Amino acid sequence: MSDTFSPIHPHRCWAEIDLAALERNLRLIRASLPAHIRYVAVVKADAYGHGLHHAAARLMHSGADLFAVANVTEAAALRELGPGWPILILSPLLPEEDRRLADYDLAATVSSAEEVARFDAIGRASGRPVAVHLKIDTGMGRLGVWHEDAPALCARILAAPHLRLAGIFTHFASPDDDAAFTAEQRRRFLAALARCASVRPAEIFIHADNSSGLESMPGASPFNAVRVGLLQFGILPHPNSMLAQVHTEPVFSFHTRVGLVKRLPQGTTISYGRTHTLARDSTVAILCAGYGDGIPRAASNRAQVLIRGRRCPVLGRVTMDQTIVDVTDVPGVQCGDAVVLVGRQGGEEISISEFSRHADTIPWETLCSVTKRVPRLYRTALGV
């Protein structure tokens, strides 16, 4: 697999990753925030399918202050790239993973007294304090200590001789569609923080806002960092997002090629389950990609693709290795033609949000569903 972009590489299905756009996006997001706000780049799940190695290297170069990953395996891969870069693990560790905190110099998320004891033991054994971020559950009902109990857990962390409190954070449940509950979560967080005796917020990372959260982030508050995933990849968290004003641009696009073109008579049924019947004599193109690559089966009979700059509807069920589209109204389509599944071609664009809607899913899941057999080709030049 080549990882440098070249239009002549003979791929059947590939993703293009525009690292220059990623760098521009980070700078634009930073410019839209008060200067003192630090930037936590969320690069879990292989940097949302963009490729951890390339994406994180570019984000390091572009001025991220801290990286957030899901687990120890991702953290170890990231550590190889950047000795000294602060890395926060967002998920709970399994007991046998604890020693990796010291091996790779990682910060752990703490939600419980049991974790305080475990990580303190690691710090004692390694002879170096383990960095931790206290997570406060303000209404997500997932990780974190319940906000009313946070001051007691914070005191335990501060009293643990082999731990260093590096941050305190929370996570919003509905920042894109429930402003009142998000405000309540902020209120609970700030109330808990105020009761955490001996904490100097200015000296640690205080963070809550993911991409959607940025829309309601208060200017003046103890929050001094943001934790951004989707937006840095140029994708808005929801269609009417005010974050459109930041003018980020898509980093990811998804491509395949036409493998076969053929004429079929009116009345022919298409693909498994015969869910589509041709209403006219048609020209169909068989694409070299299916759900084995990351075109969701749920997009059957719904999605559109771009060929020769024109929208072509998917006919029938998406299959593992092929997808069938109607090209009756697009003259000259032939084997080898470039097909855009997500991205621009000519004057047309299919956004990842549109592609995801056709499969009843969200861009986060779409990005994580592009499979291993799809090479990621990287554009690196810093255009304007």
Ligand X SMILES: Cc1ncc(COP(=O)(O)O)c(C=O)c1O
Bridge partners of residue 40, in order along the sequence:
66, 227
Q: Which is nearer to ligand X, 167 or 229 (CB)?
A: 229
Q: Which range binds ligand X by CB under 6 A, 229-237, 299-307, 327-335, 372-380?
A: 229-237
Q: Which is nearer to ligand X, 230 or 333 (CB)?
A: 230
> How big is the site for ligand X, counted in residues (CB under 6 A)?
12
Q: Which of 51, 151, 167, 229 binds ligand X (CB under 6 A)?
A: 229
Q: Which is nearer to ligand X, 67 or 119 (CB)?
A: 67
Question: Which of the residues 39, 104, 135, 272 is marked catalytic?
Answer: 272
Matching residue, tokens 């560790």: 93
Q: How far is the CB of 229 from ligand X (least distance, A)?
A: 3
Q: Which of 166, 228, 324, 350 binds ligand X (CB under 6 A)?
A: 228
Alpha-carbon gap, residue 239 to 218, rounded angstroms: 22
AA letter at 46: D
Burial group, residue 244, by CB count within 10 angstroms (0-12, 13-18, 19+)? exposed
* H/E stretch holding 286: strand 282-287
Q: Which is nearer to ligand X, 14 or 252 (CB)?
A: 252
Q: In the range 190-219, which residues lie near ligand X by CB under 6 A?
A: 210-212
SS3 letters across 211-266? CHHHHHCCCCCCCCEEEECHHHHCCCCCCCCHHHHHCCCCCEEEEEEEEEEEEECC
Q: Which of 15, 26, 29, 42 binds ligand X (CB under 6 A)?
A: 42
Q: Does 227 bind ligand X (CB under 6 A)?
A: yes
Considering only CA atoms, which of 136, 91, 94 is closest in space to residue 118?
A: 94
Question: Which of the residues 39, 44, 291, 378 is marked catalytic?
Answer: 44
Q: Which is nearer to ligand X, 169 or 254 (CB)?
A: 169
Name the pairing type of β-strands 376-379 and 13-18. parallel
Q: Does 236 bind ligand X (CB under 6 A)?
A: no
Matching residue, tokens 């003979």: 10
Q: How far is the CB of 146 from ligand X (least distance, A)?
A: 17
Matching residue, tokens 């690292």: 19
Known catalytic residue: 135?
no
Q: Which of 15, 166, 230, 359 binds ligand X (CB under 6 A)?
A: 230
Q: Which of 86, 139, 237, 294 binds ligand X (CB under 6 A)?
A: 237
Q: What is the DSSP letter of 274?
A: G
Q: Which is nearer to ligand X, 48 or 254 (CB)?
A: 48
Alpha-carbon gap, residue 254 to 366, rounded angstroms: 11
Q: Does 111 bind ligand X (CB under 6 A)?
A: no
Known catalytic residue: 48?
no
Tokens (6 digits) for 48? 């949302």
* H/E stretch holding 134: strand 130-137
Binding site for ligand X (CB under 6 A): 42, 90, 171, 210-212, 227-231, 237
Q: Which residues are catalytic?
A: 44, 272
